Amino acid sequence: MTKQRRIFDANFKLQVVRMIHDQGLSVSQICKDMKLGETAVRRWLTQVQAEQGGLPGIGNPLTADQLRIRELETQNRQLRMDVDILKKASAFFARELK
């Protein structure tokens, strides 16, 4: 009889964090009302604060800015690998022509 782990999307997490900040509700009150774990909610608060401060945060990004940054970093990494492959290929073919 184990509890099944619940999965929350980023919008829900942001909504909970906004309720705490905007409405001035306490973490324990939110957790009791919504049947959430305090550790998870505190982690969401920490992550949103980190992301708003420009840091990457922990886990999957919650804010749209951090999501976009992660997408751009992934794209940048892929483009760097593509350029590296093209450099190696051009060096290989330059040696073949000599």
CATH number at residue 23: 1.10.10
Evaluate whether residue 47 is within a structural domain: yes
Evaluate whether residue 4 is within a structural domain: no
What pLDDT is attached to residue 67? 80
Q: From residue 18, how far is each of 15, 39, 44, 46, 54 by CA, in Å? A: 5, 17, 11, 13, 18
Evaluate whether residue 25 is within a structural domain: yes
Identify the segments of the chain with pLDDT beneath 70: 1, 56-58, 98
What pLDDT is attached to residue 84? 94
Evaluate whether residue 71 is within a structural domain: yes
Distance CA 29, CA 58 (A): 24
Domain count, the chain: 1
What pLDDT is attached to residue 6? 85
Whole domain around residue 52: which residue ranges? 10-97
Evaluate whether residue 2 is within a structural domain: no
Evaluate whether residue 65 is within a structural domain: yes
Evaluate whether residue 1 is within a structural domain: no
The per-residue pLDDT of the chain, averaged, comes to: 86
